[in-house]
């Protein structure tokens, strides 16, 4: 994988995190309410579907990056 491809992949993943509900829940728990008790969508990693992980990597149509 060349450097351009790595930067594009990292950008798409970071934008996926920003558009995912878990990011906002973490911000709420740590910075807004400061209760440090996030209520995650999944109780453990084993509950996360493969398709949900793949969503972060397959975002070409949603995050164009012109390098």
- Asked if residue 67 belongs to a domain, the reply is no
What pTM did the predictor assign? Answer: 0.67
Between helix 3-18 and helix 50-57 the angle, nearest 10°, is 120
Q: Is the pLDDT of residue 60 over 80?
A: no
- Asked if residue 66 belongs to a domain, the reply is no
- Alpha-carbon distance of 37 to 16, in angstroms, equals 23
Q: Is the pLDDT of residue 40 over 80?
A: yes
- Asked if residue 64 belongs to a domain, the reply is no
- Asked if residue 33 belongs to a domain, the reply is yes
pLDDT, tens digit (0-9, with 9 covering 90-100), for 6-17: 888 888 888 888
The count of structural domains within the chain is 1
- Asked if residue 49 belongs to a domain, the reply is yes
- Asked if residue 19 belongs to a domain, the reply is yes
Q: What is the mean pLDDT of the chain?
A: 88
pLDDT, tens digit (0-9, with 9 covering 90-100), for 27-36: 999 999 999 9
Q: Is the pLDDT of residue 55 over 90?
A: no
Domain that holds residue 50: 3-57
């Amino acid at each position: 994988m060349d450097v351009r491809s790595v930067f594009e992949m990292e950008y798409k993943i970071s934008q996926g995190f920003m558009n995912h509900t878990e990011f906002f829940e973490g911000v709420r728990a740590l910075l807004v309410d400061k209760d440090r008790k996030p209520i995650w969508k999944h109780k453990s990693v084993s509950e996360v579907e493969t398709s949900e992980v793949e969503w972060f990597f397959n975002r070409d149509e949603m995050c164009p990056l012109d390098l």
